Chains A and B, each alone.
Chain A
Amino acid sequence: MSALAPPAPGRARLLARGSSLLRARELSLFILIVLVFGGTTLKNHNFASANSVQQLLTGAALIALLGVGETLVIITNNVDLSVGSVVGLSAYLVGMVFKHNPNFPVLLALALGIAVGAAVGAVNGLITTVSKVPSLVVTLATLYIIRGADGLIVNGHTIDPEFIPKSFQKIGYATFLGVPWLAIIVIVIVAGAGFAMRSFRSSRDLYAIGSNPEAAELAGIPAAKRVFTAFLVSGSLAGLAGALFLALHAQIDVTGGKGYELTVVAAVVVGGVAIFGGSGTVIGAALGAVLLNTIDQALVATKVSPFWNLAIAGGLLLLAIVFDRWLSLRVAKSLQSAEGAHHDV
């Protein structure tokens, strides 16, 4: 009987607490990042140089940014595979504008990228919520369609650095107090989204929808509206990421952003977002992106064949999923033994 139950034993209580569980995930990711970073530095002292750390942050920034939108979508038990294609499209369109109009304002260029992504996100969200087709299929289709359209627009041309204004390129390489601007933009967005996902009713709705869709309907949560918004945000951030991609690389061809979608999903899942929705944080996803990128760079720094990179990313992914499964079984078990205590009173 719950009425007479003693407080659950300490560990079960700790594990059962949602926030501490998530915090544990973020902490272990952070420790892993530090370990990889420290270990690599021991072998190659240059790894800890300011330049190298800046590279680490810049390299993870775009995936972390895409991870914010992807997290929102995955939490509702959907997935957005179109983000890689959106990055390419948005980067190319912004590049075209600069080519024809070298004095185009930087902020407006970013806004244009966001608008392009938002349009795609709206289409994804609309098809998914109205036709109730699994988003895996919808966004796989838009992935191909956009990549194809991109090819037609680009038509074999590339946009080269001479067309990109220096003021725009600066976002990619300039730093503020030693931190790359690109990383600052992404950190601000991640922090803002992290706060929002904890604190607003509408964002808690996203968790509810992914956790139990039927209960969400009974609770009067406007599920379609919320899922649509998640896709809209994911698309918009992918559009922004496209503009930033252009600023970072200062050139774009038809392959820009190709394959990003899977890297993002991997980072998000490694970051502790449940693939079937309901739990996870934006900050965890961002840390997942940083971890994958740190490993990537560590392999370069220690002169290990870069082919190991993919295998390690895959291994981490499996580890993350197995760890989550193990953890949830453990939580269930310790909760059950606490339940047992209920009945024994």
Chain B
Amino acid sequence: MVDPASAAPLLVLHEATKRFGAVHALVDASVTLYPGEAHALLGENGAGKSTLVKILAGVYQPDGGSLLVGGEPAVFHGPNASRAAGVSIIYQEPTLFPDLTVAENIFMGRQPLGRGRVIDRAQMNGAAAEVFARLGVRLDPARLARGLSVADQQIVEIAKALSLKANILVMDEPTAALTGVEVERLFEVMRTLRNQGAAVLFISHRLEEVFACCQRVTIMRDGSFVRTDPIEALTVSDIIRSMVGRDLESLYPERTSDPGDVVLEVEHLSREGVFDDINVTVRRGEIVALAGLVGAGRSEVARAIFGIDRWTSGTVKVNGKPLPNGAPMAAMAAGVALVPEDRRQQGLVMDLGIDQNIALASLGRLKKFGLIRRSEETGLARTWAERLQMKFGRIRNPVSTLSGGNQQKVVLGKWLARKPSLLIIDEPTRGIDIGTKAEVHRLLNDLVSDGTAVLMISSELPEVLGMADRVLVLHEGKLMADLSGSEATEDAVMRAASGLNAEAAA
């Protein structure tokens, strides 16, 4: 490995500024990357990380500041210029072409050419297979990208970046959709690249990953540079304080659990080929977490309970009354609310106003003589926007203008406005910055203290351990463990999630 201190920096971005109309996305952004280092870029959502990434990608041109690559001043007029300078980007959202093959996705615009500048498909597929072999994954280079799981899409993105043989690799939350094994493998690839003298700029909301794989950390806030330090010099609370700009007591509120009557009773619920013989009870004033690896069937159980998917056998009772199979309206009428994992696709109508989105699940209550008055919607929305401390310009602005954290609050508000007795919430804080995360957690805690029952699905182990009164662990569609708060340790949950301690299952 190259010693950062002695080497010349590969890339220096100094005091970059970028404005979009009246909005200052970057005020004073600086970052320096040395060969052989993994450098974490941290900050809340809206701190300007993605803008910085897009400047390095050549998608945005900075309004001010300087960029040096290998000591030479550089201007990226477009993505091709950035790529030619050895910069390779893995974006947060996979950006694949669903109608093209996996190999073509990797080599788009630089397909290997044979005689007469004709694309050499055999060579292209071979090169893609080589990169996959390096990553230790088995993906057919000749298959279409359509239908790939999010994790596999991310792997194609990583393969794309690797195939560029870049010496500066920028990764914008590459691990958000990956499971433990895949994350491990990605870290291994990062290590190999670093040993070859490349620099990696790593963005993640998961601080444990940052501590596991990065040597230096740059923190941004409100579009400005805050600090760059070696990782050894920082603690988690240092980092959070620098990101948020104030002390944050704790990510997880103090919880006292006082479970009351049973609200949700799921018995022997099965959906053929998806999950099998699931038993869940959730009481008033209790948070039950469904844990497990991606693909273990957690969201599918939630969807079946809410009635989006049909179940093949078993019963679901809410407040003692059985729910009909496959009837979301009946579930809603019984007091069940579902906040889905994918906000943009399943939880929000992006072009409608904040008020209309919040009122969407309560229209039945708002209508008079079959008509809805916008002012009623706005009134209802204001109440919840205040309670959830949303930040927005105008309540009638489209939801698409909000940040990820505030969008999540809109989805929450929409369902809380119905005053549900059971809230099912899938990945409550995915892609949300740390400040908003703490708020969402506090909010869930308030709900539970008011007597709501919460069934929470989460892939973030600290969140599961920090919030849940009981933890149910799924593995391949089967319930592996039912752990009380004190039994639920990181080790116990991970073992069950990997299907290791079948004998310890409740």
Residues of A within 8 A of B (CB): 1-5, 7-8, 13, 16-19, 21, 198-201, 204-205, 207-208, 210-212, 214-221, 274, 278-279, 328, 331-332, 335-337, 339-340, 342-344
Contacts and interface: CB of A to CB of B under 8 A. Distances in A.
Nearest to A279: B99
A220 B78 contact: yes
Nearest to A332: B147
Interface in B118-155: 118-119, 136-140, 142-144, 146-149, 151-152, 155
B214 interface: no
B295 A343 contact: yes
Contact of B142 (A2, A17, A199): A17
Contacts of A336: 147
Interface in B149-203: 149, 151-152, 155, 179, 181-182, 185
A68 to B, nearest CB: 19
Given A2-B137, A212-B98, 15 more contacts: A8-B140, A16-B140, A16-B143, A16-B147, A17-B142, A199-B119, A207-B100, A208-B108, A210-B99, A212-B96, A215-B97, A219-B109, A274-B99, A337-B273, A343-B296
- 7 tightest CB-CB pairs across the interface, nearest first? A220-B79, A335-B147, A278-B99, A215-B95, A343-B295, A211-B97, A220-B80
Contacts of B96: 212, 215
Please indicate which of the listed interface residues B57, B99, B110, B296 has the most CB atoms of chain A within 10 Å of its own CB: B99
Nearest to A215: B95
A231 to B, nearest CB: 21
Contacts of A5: 138
A204 B95 contact: no
B100 A17 contact: no
Contacts of A278: 97-99
A221 B140 contact: no
Contacts of A200: 117-119
Given A2-B139, A199-B118, A342-B295, A205 B147 contact: no
A335 B80 CA distance: 33
B91 interface: yes
A328 B147 CA distance: 9
B215 interface: no
Given A17-B142, A207-B99, A2 B147 contact: no
A217 B245 CA distance: 35
B104 interface: yes
B484 to A, nearest CB: 28
Contact of A218 (B91, B111, B296, B476): B91
A98 B286 CA distance: 88
B83 interface: yes
Give the bracket for the number of chain B residues in contact with chain A. 35 or more
Please indicate which of the listed interface residues B97, B108, B185, B476 has the most CB atoms of chain A within 10 Å of its own CB: B97
Nearest to B144: A18
A213 to B, nearest CB: 10
A229 to B, nearest CB: 15
B80 A204 contact: no
A211 B95 CA distance: 11
Contacts of A205: 108-109
Nearest to B57: A218
Given A2-B137, A200-B119, A279-B99, A218 B185 contact: no
A343 B476 contact: yes
B59 interface: yes
A18 B295 CA distance: 26
A220 B83 contact: yes
Contact of A204 (B58, B91, B104, B142): B104
A220 B109 contact: yes
B61 interface: no
B149 A211 contact: no
A203 B153 CA distance: 24
Contacts of B80: 220
B143 A13 contact: yes
Nearest to A340: B273
A5 B146 CA distance: 18
A3 B140 contact: no
B119 A212 contact: no
B84 to A, nearest CB: 10
A199 B115 CA distance: 11
Nearest to A19: B142
Given A211-B97, A279-B99, A2 B152 contact: yes
Interface in B451-506: 476
B111 A201 contact: yes
Contacts of B148: 335
B443 to A, nearest CB: 32
A214 B144 CA distance: 18
Contacts of A207: 97, 99-100
Given A8-B140, A18-B101, A3 B147 contact: no
B477 to A, nearest CB: 9
Interface in B245-280: 273
A219 B79 contact: yes
A331 B146 CA distance: 9
A193 to B, nearest CB: 14
A7 B137 CA distance: 12
Contact of B181 (A3, A217, A221, A328): A3
A122 B210 CA distance: 52
Contacts of A18: 99-101, 142-144
B75 to A, nearest CB: 15
B83 A214 contact: no
A119 to B, nearest CB: 29
Please indicate which of the listed interface residues B78, B108, B113 has the most CB atoms of chain A within 10 Å of its own CB: B108
Contacts of A4: 138
A1 to B, nearest CB: 6
Nearest to B101: A18
B108 to A, nearest CB: 5
Contacts of B97: 207-208, 211-212, 215-216, 278
Contacts of B100: 18, 204, 207-208, 211
